[in-house]
């Protein structure tokens, strides 16, 4: 395990430190990068993915984030030569609305596989959404036991706001089991959807 402490470092320093750590890897290795803002998470993630790493991230506390990079071996020489860039957060106000713990009509087991794949696909988008809203059965996805928690934590660490309906959590008896994001109310849900540039529904 290699730890890169980039807390308090302005861009592009976190990316440069991480790239140097990646260049030293000769075999399978895990690198943990500590940063203090979502933009650094986004930029470190993009660089590590371009190097062939599998990347997850998590918000540990206010202004404290961890990016975990899993490498299977040394990176290619052409990857090492890639320029270090700092990409500002210029996302549009895209809101994803998830109202069930499955996707589509038909077999529920298949629907649960599909919604898990949908949320993973969100983590791979070039432009991440600004907010993901969960209500009704969708509230189950942000709580203990959900198979999508790791992907949601990765999205949250990159600045995606994750909001779950409090009334829905109460109804399903899950309020104490929320694992990612914050609790919201119907007024905030309506306001967020009303102000969105685009609404995406699975």
Residue 2 forms beta bridges with which residues?
Answer: 31
- List % helix, strand, coil for the chain (3-state, nearest 5): 40, 25, 35
Residue 130 three-state SS: coil
Q: How far is the C-alpha of 3 from the C-alpha of 32, rounded, in Å?
A: 5
Q: How far is the C-alpha of 134 from the C-alpha of 187, rounded, in Å?
A: 14
Please say if 86 is a catalytic residue.
no
Residues 6+ apart with CB under 8 A from 175: 166, 169, 183
Residues 6+ apart with CB under 8 A from 81: none
Q: Which of 11, 86, 165, 168 is catalytic?
A: 11
Q: Tell me whether strands 182-184 and 161-165 are parallel, antiparallel or unpaired.
A: parallel
Residue with tokens 């949320």: 119
Asked if residues 50 and 124 have their Cβ atoms less than 8 Å apart, the reply is no
Which residues are identified as catalytic? 11
């Amino acid at each position: 395990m290699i730890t890169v402490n980039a807390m308090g470092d302005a861009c592009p320093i976190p990316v440069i430190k991480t790239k140097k750590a990646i260049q030293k890897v000769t075999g399978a290795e895990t690198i943990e990068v500590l940063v203090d803002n979502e933009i650094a998470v986004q930029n470190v993630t993009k660089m590590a993915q371009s190097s062939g790493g599998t990347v997850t991230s998590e918000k540990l506390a206010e202004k404290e984030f961890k990016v975990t990079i899993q490498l299977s071996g040394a990176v290619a020489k052409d990857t090492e030569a890639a320029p270090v860039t700092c990409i500002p957060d210029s996302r549009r106000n895209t809101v994803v609305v998830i109202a069930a713990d499955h996707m589509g009509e038909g077999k529920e087991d298949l629907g649960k596989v599909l919604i898990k794949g949908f949320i993973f696909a969100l983590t791979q988008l070039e432009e991440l959404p600004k907010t993901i809203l969960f209500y009704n059965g969708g509230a189950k996805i942000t709580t203990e036991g959900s198979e999508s928690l790791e992907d949601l934590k990765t999205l949250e660490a990159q600045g995606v706001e994750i909001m779950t309906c409090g009334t829905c959590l109460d109804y399903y008896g899950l309020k104490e089991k929320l694992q990612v994001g914050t609790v919201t109310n119907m007024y905030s849900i309506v306001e967020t959807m009303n102000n969105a540039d685009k609404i995406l529904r699975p």
